[in-house]
Amino acid sequence: MPTRIPEVFACTGHSLITVQSGATLTGGDSGLMRLNGDGTASFVTVVRIVGGTGELAGATGGIVAPGTLNLAPVAPPEHTPAPSAAAAAAREPNRFPERRAPADVRGWMSADSR
């Protein structure tokens, strides 16, 4: 949403923060974003924590997160055909690979916080 200041926009969204254990924090965020003219945008957002899971269940509070977004298009990853189910089972019988995201902020924007 534009503001009275040229190239500055108000923004809102939802955040999901996942920590190494897999526990999460959820919240709503609002902030300001400024287009820098070089393909980046500086922002600051305030996340109001409204809940969590695991050891973070019942969490409340807030986080202030400043950062810079790189608005340049990103090339899609190269396609690698998935192995057949039989080949995958032969490598890891009765086991699914564990996939855990590193702790970071996930939501409508991802940022390199500074």
What pLDDT shows up at residue 88? 56
- The encoded tokens of residue 27 equal 């919240």
The 10s digit of each residue's pLDDT in 62-100 is 999 999 989 888 777 777 666 665 555 555 544 444 444
pLDDT at 114: 33
Find, among 23, 13, 31, the residue nearest to 59 by Cα: 23
Amino acid, single-letter form, for residue 2: P
Give per-residue pLDDT as tens, 16-62.
Answer: 999 999 999 999 999 999 999 898 999 999 999 999 999 999 999 99
